[in-house]
Amino acid sequence: MRWTAAKDYTGVVTTLVSTLEEIRGKVQGGERISNEDALWLWKNAGDAELRELAQVVRARFVAPMACTYMIMRIVNYTNVCVAQCDYCAFYKLPGQDGGYVLSQEQVFAKLDELLELGGDLAAFNGGFNPHLPIDYYCELFAAIRARYGDKLEFYALTIAEFMYLADHAKLTYAAAAERFKAAGVRWITGGGSEILTEDFRKRHSKFKYTVAQYFKAQRALVDAGLKTTATMVIGFDETIAERIEHLDRTRQFQDETGGLASFLCWTYKPYFTQIGGIEISTSEYLRHLALSRIYLDNVPRIRTSVLTQNERALEGLLYGADDFDLPIEDEVTQKAGATISLNFDRILAFAKELGYTPSYRSVTASA
């Protein structure tokens, strides 16, 4: 039975209960929820009900009170970008004051500091810099692999940057993937996705790639044997239907390829951006995490964002997440208002207070 307009209060309650029971039956029976179910849950389920259903799916992948984390650094190797996304407070146009490109020595200094702080994962994220040839990247990544071997793993680029570089070098995605593999790259993450609907792209990042191109590139990475992830950012002006469309595309891609190691959602930071806005509440973020965990029944790891939610991100463990980063730097989100704490013990204590036992997950072990 579905939600229908009922004339009296008793009728409304009866319909709500029976619809929830129907969806609960699906989730408990291992059946996939539909987009309509997801929308219904978002509109009608309480926090406790979302948590309960998310825990059912979570338990298929990880022991109930277990969770994992990594210490990582986002290395923003250049802030020069021609994409001009209107939600970005990080970029400088070519020739504009304040634009930079990091040298190999500057990157090494950042990676050395990461190792000193107990981390072993770096994620490279910059802009669409027309002055940087693909050789800059291949030489940088080869030098990192030569210097650090398996002591440290790195997410080489986001898919958005990968696409720009391939186009700029006039290479197919498959050929570009092979170039990066030869340079020692193992991972290219699903970053730059934000909200994967064509309409959202047109509204906010019309110089970026289409959603269809995004998945074409990600498929080429998977086919080339590179590892990848799914990401999502909420809290712009996207509708709930757009959020569900994003989840739908992600689930379909995973059905077709099995290539997504994890799903990470974070929240838009509106400070100093062109479009501005107001941050969504942590409670809305947590509800979305739960919905993602329930919906993405084929993605093994759901990650919660300490970078944008600080220690309150750990409540995401109650809402179906099982993994998180402790970041030491990310200029992109920091420029738009994110704050980072290096007091890892305090953040981990928060997870323990919730009853979870966090254990360090070295991405180098799965490299």
Options 31-39, 48-56, 88-96, 140-148: segment touching ligand SF4 (CB under 6 A): 88-96
Which two structure tokens, joined as six digits, stand for 248? 């739908």
Cα distance between residue 270 and residue 88, in whole Å:
8
Instruction: Choose the stretch contacting ligand SF4; rule: CB under 6 A; options: 43-51, 77-85, 223-231, 265-273.
Output: 77-85
* CA neighbor of 336 nearest in space, from 272, 265, 281, 267: 272
Nearer to ligand SF4 among residue 143 and residue 169 (C-beta): 169
Residue in 77, 90, 187, 266 binding ligand SF4, rule: CB under 6 A:
90
User: Nearer to ligand SF4 by C-beta: 44 or 84?
Assistant: 84
Q: Which stretch binds ligand SF4 (CB under 6 A): 80-88, 139-147, 318-326, 333-341?
A: 80-88
Task: State the minimum distance, in angstroms, from the CB of residue 86 to ligand SF4.
Answer: 8
Closer residue to ligand SF4 (CB): 159 or 160: 160
Which listed range, 83-91, 131-139, 170-178, 226-234, lies at the site for ligand SF4 (CB under 6 A)?
83-91
Decide whether 87 or 350 has the Cβ nearer to ligand SF4. 87
Mask: binding to ligand SF4, 128-167, rule CB under 6 A, as x and -?
x-------------------------------x-------
* Per CB under 6 A, 101 contacts ligand SF4: no
Sign of CA dihedral 158, 162, 165, 168: negative
**Site membership for ligand SF4, residue 74 (CB under 6 A):** no
Question: Could you give the CA distance from residue 313 to residue 253 in angstroms, rounded to a whole number?
Answer: 26
Burial class of residue 38, CB neighbours in 10 A (0-12, 13-18, 19+): buried
* 8 A C-beta contact, residue 264 and residue 228: no
Number of residues that bind ligand SF4 (CB under 6 A): 12
- 336 touches ligand SF4 by CB under 6 A: no
Q: Tell me how long the chain is.
A: 367
CA atoms of 358 and 351, how far apart (whole Å): 7
For ligand SF4, which is the closer residue by CB, 269 or 288?
269
Q: Is 91 in the site for ligand SF4 (CB under 6 A)?
A: yes
Give the interface with ligand SF4 as residue ranges (CB under 6 A).
81, 83-85, 88, 90-91, 127-128, 160, 205, 208
